[in-house]
Amino acid sequence: MRLLLLACLRAQTGNATTAARIQNHLHAAGHSCILKDAFMYESPAEIANLTSTDKFDAALAIHLYKGGRLLQGSRIPFGIIFGGTDVNEDIKCQEKRQVMGAVLEKARFAVAFTVKLKELAAAEWPDARKKIYVQSQGIKTAPSDTFDWYRFLQNAAIPANTDRFHLFLLICGLRRVKDPLYLVEVFSDWHRKDPSVHLGIIGPAVDPVFTSEVKEKVKRAPGVHLLPELPQEELHAAVRRCFAVVNSSLSEGMSAAILEAMDLEIPVLARNIPGNAAIIKHKETGLLFSNPQVRKARILRFLFYTGLCLSGCLAFPLGSFPQILLFGAVLLPPLHLQFREIVLGVSLAECLSELLRATCCTGV
């Protein structure tokens, strides 16, 4: 079968990574799959002409709006793979919602990465429920053996010539839905108190205007670094050397960065949203954080695992005073669990440093 696969193919983005994996799978199954960038086409007529001229038997589109809109009126059968922002964000726009509904009505099937994503789509388009299937992503990591970690840090002006060095990586395309600025101030404050802590934001400049905002913010935030894009194999190698991977997205379909970090046995710390909660079991395979209301004098309990893979602690802002959240996720069964209570009035940096020292003391 000759298949057309439409997706947004901006390099180093989640949709592009997913599209390449689907293409490889279909090729391995004996089909011919041709990838086309949805951003290169403006109208369904262009795709109709393409499918007729190149004699495609069927089509797939990743993202119900960005890819699916080009299949309106398609003369060949097609299926849809939800991207995440289509159902989570674009559905809020009436014009896009109408287009997506029309596309989904004509699609032979649709694939959601999570049950939650299916339920959101089915709630909006009840007649499509029976044609929506849940299939989680499959991932494969291949870290480069030649990646020079220390040169990478040097080029990014990140000093790593100390015994204690903790780089957290936030991997995302720079756009508002990924909300990387949510983490900048607290990491910078942490770095001022403990210079061993750094946050690296790495990913393509998807939204140029927002990217400029991120650059300006990072310039004024010691310890936070906007890192250049890396080819996938080198990015996997960098993840393998970092302290933990963090995710601060406002919404996700299914984060490839989180899945890849898990595959590389690196702790993952993610915002508690449905897409992340679908793949992270809190305090077992990662940690989900949110921003509950906590009073300044409240005593917080820090849980942290000592085991084969131990993370540290992270903090997030709450009003005019810091709120400390729990970090302590392992990817493999813990050897034992420790509990510790720390009064919030204690210096934030002291609390974080204490947990980092505890990490070092375990010999992990």
Domain membership flag for residue 141: no
Residues 155 and 30 in one domain: no
Chosen domain end from 73, 106, 134: 134
SS3 state at 152: helix
Residues 197 and 101 in one domain: no
Domain membership flag for residue 274: yes
Chosen domain end from 84, 99, 134: 134
Chosen domain end from 100, 134, 168: 134
294-352: per-residue pLDDT in tens? 322 222 233 233 232 333 333 322 222 222 222 322 222 222 223 222 222 233 333 33
Residues 153 and 197 in one domain: yes
Sign of CA dihedral 362, 195, 332, 232: negative
- Taking alpha carbons only, the member of 106, 105, 111 closest to residue 125 is 105
Full domain range(s) for residue 309:
149-361
Q: Where are the beta strands (DSSP E) in the chain?
A: 2-7, 32-37, 58-62, 78-81, 109-112, 132-134, 166-171, 197-202, 224-227, 244-247, 268-271, 287-289, 299-306, 314-318, 321-325, 336-343
Residues 154 and 292 in one domain: yes
Residues 123 and 153 in one domain: no
Q: Is the pLDDT of residue 110 over 90?
A: yes
Domain membership flag for residue 140: no
**72 contacts: CB under 8 Å, gap ≥ 6:** 44, 99, 102, 103, 106
Please report, for the domain that includes residue 90, its CATH number.
3.40.50.2000
pLDDT at 269: 86
What letters, b where the CB count within 10 A reaches 16 and e where it falls short, cover 66-95? Answer: bbbbbbeebebebbbbbbbbbbbbbbeeee
Number of domains observed in the structure of the chain: 2
Residues 128 and 266 in one domain: no
32-69: per-residue pLDDT in tens? 999 999 999 999 999 999 999 999 999 999 999 999 99
